[in-house]
Homo-oligomer: A and B are copies of this chain.
Amino acid sequence: MAVTSADVARESGVSRTTVSYVLNETPGATISDATRRRVLATAARLGYAPSAAARTLRAGRSDLVLCVLPNWPIGPVLDTLLERLADELAARGLAVLVHHGRGARPLADLWRAVQPRTVVGFAAFAEEDLRAMRLAGIQVVGTRMDGDDDDPTIVSVPQVRIGRLQVQHLVAGGRSRLGWAGTTDTRLAEFARHRLAGVRSECAQAGIAPPVVRELDLTMASAARAAAAWREAGVDAVAAYNDEVGLAVLAGLREQGLAVPQDVAVIGVDDVPAAALAEPPLSSVDQAIERQAAYLAACTLAALDGVQPPSRPDDLHTVVARASSAPRR
């Protein structure tokens, strides 16, 4: 069916060995210029492309790096991460493909279809999946959201810091009774848990009461209910899971007749464009996506080379202060 190296060999009047030497520019081999030209021309004319399956079988490993995502909604952060990773790895002849690991399908089904050299996991793997990958000789690079692990194959971006930063900013602005606006989107539960933990610990640190926790579903009804609860509790500042939730919080507070930032301050996470356009403009926490992406790519390359990964940059997140969290007068 498809063109094989044998076809190229026959058409060029040489052996498959010679075809392989020419096409792979094999270091040891010296091929006469005439032969090389002839082989190259034939390959181009026939549209020859080597069989990935055969190469992988022969070599015992492929040039594929597989990124395994949980069922997170893909946003700009992840998008940039994947793009950057693909660019860096392409420079070394590696292809990056992404598996959107929705729901309950076991990873094992994948290995029937594809044989990656390395798997980059964006959430913890099941024990059995890990075992299967190790047995199959697949290298595994992991990521974590808490940052207290020394496993060198693990990239960590501590979500906890984000929550801490939000609280520090709000407290510095004279606020002392905090609310937390989480999300009912279960796909984000892992992120939310760590960010909330950061909020809690920083509240304790600052000597103020723990946050009044509410989970929103991005409807006006749920945002208004949350706002009412916060008013009830005397909340004067809300840290939101992200900007999307933060914008819902603004809407809910408005609905309940609470003024931002006079009555309540609000801060989100991500610094999406819509944050700056809100009324009032929404404060946020910038994630330094480009630098996170560079860090992840460097860690993956280090794992591929079997060397120590770079240490994590520790000033990734910064507060973007806008009117929604202006200090108490």
Contact = CB atoms under 8 A, between A and B. Distances in A.
A113 interface: yes
Interface string A103-123: 001001111111100000000
A47 B132 contact: yes
A223 B278 CA distance: 13
A137 B2 contact: yes
Contacts of A79: 73-74, 100
A67 to B, nearest CB: 9
A206 to B, nearest CB: 30
Contacts of A254: 279
A79 B102 CA distance: 11
Given A86-B100, A90-B105, A100-B86, A112 B135 contact: no
Given A53-B57, A82-B100, 18 more contacts: A2-B135, A49-B132, A52-B111, A53-B54, A53-B56, A57-B57, A63-B113, A74-B74, A90-B109, A95-B109, A97-B97, A97-B98, A97-B99, A114-B114, A218-B274, A219-B273, A220-B277, A251-B277
A277 B274 CA distance: 12
Interface in A57-73: 57, 60, 62-64, 66, 71, 73
A124 interface: no
A37 interface: no
Interface of A: 1-3, 47, 49-57, 60, 62-64, 66, 71, 73-76, 78-79, 82-83, 86-87, 90, 93-100, 102, 105, 108-115, 131-132, 135-137, 218-220, 223, 244, 247-248, 251, 254, 273-274, 276-279
**8 closest residue pairs by CB, A with B:** A218-B273, A95-B113, A53-B56, A63-B113, A251-B277, A53-B57, A74-B74, A52-B115
Contacts of A113: 52, 62-64, 94-95, 97
A127 B290 CA distance: 33
Contacts of A3: 135
Nearest to A72: B79
B219 A52 contact: no
A102 B114 contact: no
A281 B251 CA distance: 10
A87 B102 contact: yes
Nearest to A99: B97
